[in-house]
Amino acid sequence: MTLAQSLWREGIKTGAIGGISVLAISLVGMVESFNKRDIIADFLSMGIAFIMVFGIILPYIAAKRTTRPEKHIIFLNALTAGLVTAVFPALLVILGNIINLRSMFVNASPVLYNLLTSGVEGVGGILILLLAGILCGAFAGLLFFLPGLIRSVIIVCLTSILAVGIVQDLIRPLFSSWGIMEVVSEWLFTQNGLTIAGTIFIPIFVGAIYMFWQLKGEGIKTRYNTLESGTQKSVKMSSFFVLAIFLIFLPHILGLFLSEVLTIVGLYILLGLGLNIVVGYAGLLDLGYVAFYAIGAYIAAILTSPAIGAFTLTFWQALPFAVMGGIFAGILLGIPVLKMRGDYLAIATLGFGEIIRILVLSDFLKPWLGGAQGIAKIPNPAIFGWQLSTPQEIYYLILLGCILVVFISVRLRDSRLGRAWMAMREDEDVAQAMGINLVSTKLLAFATGAGFSALSGAIMVSKIGSVYPHSFNVFISINIVCLIIVGGIGSIPGVIVGAAALVGLPELLREFADYRMLVYGAVLVGMMLLRPEGLWPEARHKMELHGEENGSDETQTATAA
Amino acid sequence: MFQKWKDRIDVTDIVMWLIGLTLLSLVLWGSISTLRAGLYTGRHWVDFLIFGLAQGSIYALIATGYTMVYGVLKMINFAHGEVFMSGPFTAYFVAIALWQSDFLDNYPIIGLMIIFLSSMAVSTTIAYFLEKIAYRPLRGAPRLIPLITAIGASFFLQYLFLGLYGSGIQAYPDMEILTGFWMVAGVRILRIQVVVIIASVLLMVALYSFIMLTRVGKAIRAVSEDKEAAALMGISVDGMISTTFVIGGMAAGAAGVLYALMYKQVYFFMGFIPGLKAFTAAVLGGIGNIPGAMLGGLFLGLIESVGPSLFLDGLGIVAPYQLKDAIAFTMLVMVLIFRPTGIMGERLSAKKA
Amino acid sequence: MSILTTQGMTKRFGGLVAVNTLDLVVEENSIHSVIGPNGAGKTTLFNCITGFYKPEDGGVDFDDRSIVGLTPDRIVHRGISRTYQNIRLFPNLTAMENILVGIHCHLKSGFFGIVLKLPGTIKEEKEAAVEARRLLKFINMDGKGDLLAKNFPYGEQRRLEIARALASRPKLLLLDEPTAGMNPSETQSMMDFIEHLRDELGITIVLIEHQMRVVMGISDIITVLDYGKKIAEGLPDEIKKDPIVIEAYLGSGSAAEIH
């Protein structure tokens, strides 16, 4: 390896990764379709912003990875990375002008080329693209040399513009429902993108909060910790109270669409908390968990729907049967896999999940389960004669379910059963040698998880009003496993965060619908590589010194909900 | 006395054997009543058999990739189905280009070779970078982490190819040498199925000889047995793991073209179900065991093709073919319960991963 | 009076006989050491007594009742507890939780008791926590209960493992090389600790040990195994001089590894 190569290696290597990434997002059509939306009105489109993110992050990484101490070499490496990142799309444009790539890559259109070269034809456009790459690289290089606090404030400010720009369609309707806030909304947003005022105000606002927390946050935390336990408790209680009021009014603040998203997230929280007991606590990797969701849903559907007609119970009468059915199925499917470990367990449960789905789908069981057409006309649930039909109303039912399940989860976690599950997760043989009955402990985990899942299924069908076998494919199971792990395995708040991130966000960013699975996959891989412990890892329960406090877990329940 | 008895008898074992016996007797009863009713003639059975073998040999090729990766990394490479998809989906464009330039009609064998090679090249590249980018940094991580990564990579690749090539279902151009049928002893045998079987068998023989006879193959086997010891013997563990992915990718790329030729379709989601099936096959054969995976694949293909008619028709089940996947998965679960080391049970798989 | 006896216990792995028609009698309130070269079948013996392996032949009686064929968790309930040669704590649980898992077999509260926090459950949990703190103090680790087990130094992990075993209130404690990897002063305090267990808590102890200083120092009786067979048994002084034992230790070069 020559000296020159070793000097610029990081820049070229990292730049190539960036270039390939830019090429990929261009060719899958993300750049073009995002370009219809502006982050900053008439100035910066989402597509271009997206490319710039790559153009800045990768040179920054290149600078960070450069091992040579000389500052100019670090800076030039960042510059090189920016340039190399731009070279790839530049080559695409050149190649695309010579031959028609469109017969293979459906998104390699002139519109894309036009975008990449800022609308300038010929060599000029290519040069602009390369220059933009160098500028991004230079920016990243400068960023690298700034002192830590200033750098992170700049990053937070830029991210806030990007984030607000992306979710502006959700923020605007929120504001407009509040009367006076509409004026603020008009000041900050246009119909498409932030106004100049918004572009200046939002990052300043967010940056100021961030800086305040960075400078004063530690002080506040220590002040809180030095408060006497009585005051701490009342602070906790009052925050619990505020949270409760917030949760009660949430659907009315959010409006119809967001409430719908909220109910979907809620159902996944129920599912996630159930699987968290099986996977997170007991360490039994269950990939067929969707089966219990389906069982709960179908039992509720059969018992309530006049379309089947054998029974026409109300939701509340059917619910215990659905949950009991789920628990029973959990035990039944648990018995065969009692002696399996690790991957084998995962495969066997995956097999079970698929078998159940295929059976439900088949013509063979169609007279009872409706086959591919499913079961329709399932009545909505009612509370004291109040028919819950809109998402804003169903929300309360789901909230109730979530609180119940969080409560049970916390209680179980801090009990002998929770400890037995975790011991089993850590080392099954030793757990048994410490007196834990593996059969009953495992079955109890399966049964509890299945019960939660069936509860979720029953609520789901009564919300939607119909049930189809296609809603119960293996991706649901995988999605739930992923949300647990992304949230932080074994952690109750982690499940909630994970459900919001993996289920809520994709629902919110509907424009991204075509790319949500792509991003989802990339995020999963990235999470596992960079932060495998999850977004909100499980905190171990402090027991030796705080063991006597009985009130502690109620407040935990509250903060977790 | 009762207490003593209760403590010592394993109730779950009894329950499992009862379930196993029930299933077995159902299968037997179904088969006997199907055969007695005479719903199918001998010609039907031969059709089922050959189709099953062709389908099974594709499963077998994909399954080798799963099983080898499990051997060296003790992880389920969930994204292997996408490795299988990426090759033929890309090679489709090569095939179309060759077809449009009449090359495919004039030199069909060379044309097919080019298609195969390009598919294998793409699948191999994807497999190589998959390992390098997504799995290599995770060596020694808890078991769940690589599995989730693999699932994420699987989604990513699926939707990357959806974005790149579009969502339409494409069909390889028709080739004269692969269409039509041969008559053997009064039985019609589709040419394509014979080609698939022969090609797969050749590839499997090549792959098995490579693993058993070459130095690299020996090194891979050493890494499967014990990574640390292999490293101490001067084997580059990372290198061998990469090689394993490369070989698995090549097999998957070839299997992908065979699949595309036989089922006449390529699309972004084509890897999922065959991937799951191949994985089942790998488990049937005893995961980590290469000949086991091959036999497991053939066996699964056969059962799927013959099973619904043979076992279920006689039980009076309507539309039994819908349940062919259920048969496959039931078999998977039964094998895991009663013979977790697979039909070819090998020591390797008994080791705790 | 004997607390544990095995009669003709035999355990095979394929063609290898790891424990061969072994008769062992452990007297109540004694410290009984089992020694022998590597692969003599000592750990296999422990695994057979605790139910992890089922011996092919022979019986194991504990407290005059047979325990052969019971699952390990049932055997713990009968009053046998153990530690492992290579420490096997629950690494991601705290020290307190590790000990509480040991207490598990004395806790009764069921699913609904736990969810509804019935008075019985609260009382039981409180008592268990008190007991666990007491045990932490007993092993000189009070104040460290909320740290994860994997973060402790080696010696503390050993002690914590013993505390976890003690938590099930065993009558018989099986210790598998408790002083492995310890320096002389750590070893001495472990020896004192083991004697203390017997003297203060009245627990019978069976010990697998390689350090002869430990074995000779604290054992009441020593059994010597070689190739799964008992080749000698007696008081420390007798064993020291036994020519068969010396032969087994010096003459056995390539004993098969079984652990």
pLDDT in tens, C150-201: 888 888 888 899 899 999 889 999 998 888 888 888 888 888 888 888 888 8
The DSSP bridge pattern shows strands B187-190 and C2-13 to be: unpaired
Q: Residue B27 falls within a domain, yes or no?
A: no
Q: What is the pLDDT of residues A354-385, one digit of tens each?
A: 888 888 888 777 777 777 778 888 888 877 77
Distance CA C208, CA C25 (A): 15
- Residue given tokens 């009003």 in the structure block: A465
Q: Which of A256-265, A444-453, B196-205, C90-99 has the highest mean pLDDT?
A: A444-453
pLDDT at C150: 87
Q: Which residues of C179-209 are buried (b: 16+ CB within 10 A; e: fewer)?
A: bbebeeeebebbbebbeebbeeeebbbbbbb
pLDDT at A517: 81
Residue B123 scores a pLDDT above 90: yes
Domain assignment of residue B212, given as a range? 46-338
A133: DSSP letter: H
pLDDT > 70 in chain B, percent: 94
Residue A205 scores a pLDDT above 80: yes
Q: Residue A161 falls within a domain, yes or no?
A: yes
Q: Which of A512-526, B96-110, B290-304 has the highest mean pLDDT?
A: B290-304
Q: Residue A95 falls within a domain, yes or no?
A: yes
pLDDT at A552: 37
Q: Which of residues 8-37 of B touch C (CB under 8 A)?
A: 8
Least Cα separation, residue C192 to chain B (angstroms): 37
Average pLDDT over residues C28-53: 87
Q: Residue B39 falls within a domain, yes or no?
A: no
The token duo for B84 is: 């299988």
Average pLDDT over residues A265-272: 92
Chains touching C, CB cut-off 8 Å, 3+ pairs:
A, B
Domain assignment of residue A378, given as a range? 255-475
When pLDDT is cut at 50, 70 and 90, the band that residue C251 belongs to is: low
ipTM of the complex: 0.89
Q: Residue B343 falls within a domain, yes or no?
A: no
CB-CB neighbors (< 8 A) of B132 in chain A:
none
Domains of chain C by range and CATH?
Answer: 1-79+170-259 (3.40.50.300), 90-167 (no CATH)
Residues A433, C115: C-beta atoms closer than 8 Å: no
When pLDDT is cut at 50, 70 and 90, the band that residue A448 belongs to is: very high
- H helix intervals, A500-561: 505-508, 516-530, 552-560
| One-letter amino acid of A505 | L
Facing residue for A528 by CB, picked from B15, B19, B138 = B138
CA–chain centroid gap for A516, Å, is 11
Please give the tally of structural domains in chain A.
2
pLDDT at A375: 84
Distance CA A228, CA B336 (A): 57
When pLDDT is cut at 50, 70 and 90, the band that residue A544 belongs to is: low
Average pLDDT over residues B302-331: 79
Please choose, from the candidates B245, B267, B275, B253, the residue with its C-alpha nearest in 3D space to the C-alpha of residue B121: B253
Residue A455 scores a pLDDT above 90: yes
Residue A97 scores a pLDDT above 90: no
Query: Based on the domain organization, do A404 and A287 belong to the same domain?
Result: yes
Distance CA A179, CA A181 (A): 5
Chains touching A, CB cut-off 8 Å, 3+ pairs:
B, C
Average pLDDT over residues B248-265: 89
Do the Cβ atoms of C36 and C256 come closer than 8 Å? Answer: no
pLDDT at B344: 67
Residue B265 scores a pLDDT above 80: yes
Say if B246 is an interface residue toward chain A (CB within 8 Å). Answer: no
Residue A554 scores a pLDDT above 50: no
Q: What is the pLDDT of residues C100-127, one digit of tens each?
A: 998 888 888 888 888 888 888 888 888 8
Residue A547 scores a pLDDT above 50: no
Consecutive H or E run containing C82 = strand C80-82
C-alpha dist (Å) from residue A419 to A220, A332, B181, B243, C235: 34, 24, 65, 43, 42
Do the Cβ atoms of C74 and B7 come closer than 8 Å? Answer: yes
Distance CA C132, CA A547 (A): 11
Please choose, from the candidates B88, B154, B95, B149, the residue with its C-alpha nearest in 3D space to the C-alpha of residue B123: B88
Do the Cβ atoms of B206 and B217 come closer than 8 Å? Answer: no
- Residue given tokens 């020591």 in the structure block: B347
pLDDT at C109: 81
- Residue given tokens 């605007």 in the structure block: A172
Facing residue for A434 by CB, picked from C91, C122, C168 = C168
CB-CB neighbors (< 8 A) of A358 in chain B:
322-323, 325-326, 329
Facing residue for A364 by CB, picked from B146, B158, B318 = B318
Least Cα separation, residue B8 to chain C (angstroms): 5
The token duo for A338 is: 């009692």
Distance CA A338, CA B13 (A): 10
Average pLDDT over residues C64-76: 86
Rounded-to-10 torsion of CA A111, A113, A117, A121: -90
Number of H helices, E strands in chain C: 10, 10
pLDDT at A148: 81
For A516, name the nearest residue in chain B, comparing CA atoms only.
B159
Burial of A487 (0-12, 13-18, 19+ CB in 10 A): buried
Q: What is the pLDDT of residues C133-162, one digit of tens each?
A: 888 888 888 888 888 888 888 888 888 998
pLDDT at B293: 87
Residue after which a domain boundary falls, among A195, A219, A243: A219
Do the Cβ atoms of C205 and C175 come closer than 8 Å? Answer: yes
pLDDT > 90 in chain C, percent: 8
pLDDT at C174: 92
CATH number for the domain including B201?
1.10.3470
When pLDDT is cut at 50, 70 and 90, the band that residue A449 belongs to is: very high
Do the Cβ atoms of B71 and B348 come closer than 8 Å? Answer: yes
Query: Based on the domain organization, do A191 and A287 belong to the same domain?
Result: no
| Cβ partners under 8 Å of residue B186, min gap 6 | B43
Rounded mean pLDDT of chain B? Answer: 83
* CA angle (A320 as vertex; A315, A321 as ends), nearest 5: 90
Query: Based on the domain organization, do A289 and A411 belong to the same domain?
Result: yes
CB-CB neighbors (< 8 A) of C143 in chain A:
544
Query: Based on the domain organization, do A193 and A286 belong to the same domain?
Result: no
Residue A213 scores a pLDDT above 60: yes
Query: Based on the domain organization, do A183 and A259 belong to the same domain?
Result: no
Rounded-to-10 torsion of CA C112, C114, C120, C123: 180
Distance CA B342, CA B348 (A): 11
Distance CA A382, CA C145 (A): 49
pLDDT at B352: 36
CB-CB neighbors (< 8 A) of A279 in chain B:
144
pLDDT > 90 in chain A, percent: 14
Query: Based on the domain organization, do A166 and A259 belong to the same domain?
Result: no
Rounded mean pLDDT of chain A? Answer: 83
What are A's interface residues with C at a Cβ cutoff of 8 A? 407-408, 411-412, 415-417, 419-420, 422-423, 426-427, 429-438, 444, 448, 540-545, 547-548, 550
| One-letter amino acid of A254 | L
Least Cα separation, residue B268 to chain A (angstroms): 12
pLDDT at A277: 92
| Cβ partners under 8 Å of residue A10, min gap 6 | A62, A65, A66, A67, A77, A81
pLDDT at A236: 84
Average pLDDT over residues A326-348: 85
The token duo for C247 is: 């032969």
When pLDDT is cut at 50, 70 and 90, the band that residue A551 belongs to is: very low
Residue A558 scores a pLDDT above 50: no
Chains touching B, CB cut-off 8 Å, 3+ pairs:
A, C
When pLDDT is cut at 50, 70 and 90, the band that residue C250 belongs to is: low
The DSSP bridge pattern shows strands C221-226 and C229-234 to be: antiparallel
Least Cα separation, residue A388 to chain C (angstroms): 28
Say if B315 is an interface residue toward chain A (CB within 8 Å). Answer: no
Average pLDDT over residues C10-30: 86
Residues B322, A346: C-beta atoms closer than 8 Å: no
Query: Based on the domain organization, do A9 and A140 belong to the same domain?
Result: yes
When pLDDT is cut at 50, 70 and 90, the band that residue A402 belongs to is: very high
Average pLDDT over residues B292-308: 87
Average pLDDT over residues C27-46: 87
Q: Residue B69 falls within a domain, yes or no?
A: yes
Query: Based on the domain organization, do A389 and A294 belong to the same domain?
Result: yes
Query: Based on the domain organization, do A199 and A266 belong to the same domain?
Result: no
Q: Residue A224 falls within a domain, yes or no?
A: no
DSSP letter string over A15-30? Answer: HHHHHHHHHHHHHTTH
When pLDDT is cut at 50, 70 and 90, the band that residue A326 belongs to is: very high
Q: Residue A410 falls within a domain, yes or no?
A: yes
The DSSP bridge pattern shows strands B181-184 and B187-190 to be: antiparallel
Residue A21 scores a pLDDT above 80: yes
Q: Residue A134 falls within a domain, yes or no?
A: yes
Q: Residue B103 falls within a domain, yes or no?
A: yes
Please choose, from the candidates C125, C127, C124, C131, the residue with its C-alpha nearest in 3D space to the C-alpha of residue C145: C131
Least Cα separation, residue B7 to chain C (angstroms): 6
Do the Cβ atoms of B80 and B255 come closer than 8 Å? Answer: no
Least Cα separation, residue A444 to chain B (angstroms): 15
Please give the tally of structural domains in chain B.
1
pLDDT at A329: 92
Q: What is the pLDDT of residues B53-90, one digit of tens each?
A: 888 998 998 898 888 888 888 888 888 999 999 999 99
pTM of the predicted model, to two decimals? 0.85
When pLDDT is cut at 50, 70 and 90, the band that residue C232 belongs to is: confident
Distance CA C166, CA A89 (A): 67
Q: Which of A276-280, A487-491, B279-283, B316-320 has the highest mean pLDDT?
A: A276-280
Average pLDDT over residues A88-104: 85
* CA angle (C80 as vertex; C78, C81 as ends), nearest 5: 135
Average pLDDT over residues C25-40: 87
Residues A433, C50: C-beta atoms closer than 8 Å: yes
Residue B347 scores a pLDDT above 70: no
Where are any strands of DSSP class E within chain B?
181-184, 187-190
What is the 3-state secondary structure of B196-243? HHHHHHHHHHHHHHHHHHCHHHHHHHHHHHCHHHHHHCCCCHHHHHHH
Query: Based on the domain organization, do A214 and A309 belong to the same domain?
Result: no
The token duo for B118 is: 């390009």
| One-letter amino acid of A209 | I
Least Cα separation, residue C73 to chain A (angstroms): 4
Q: Residue A24 falls within a domain, yes or no?
A: yes
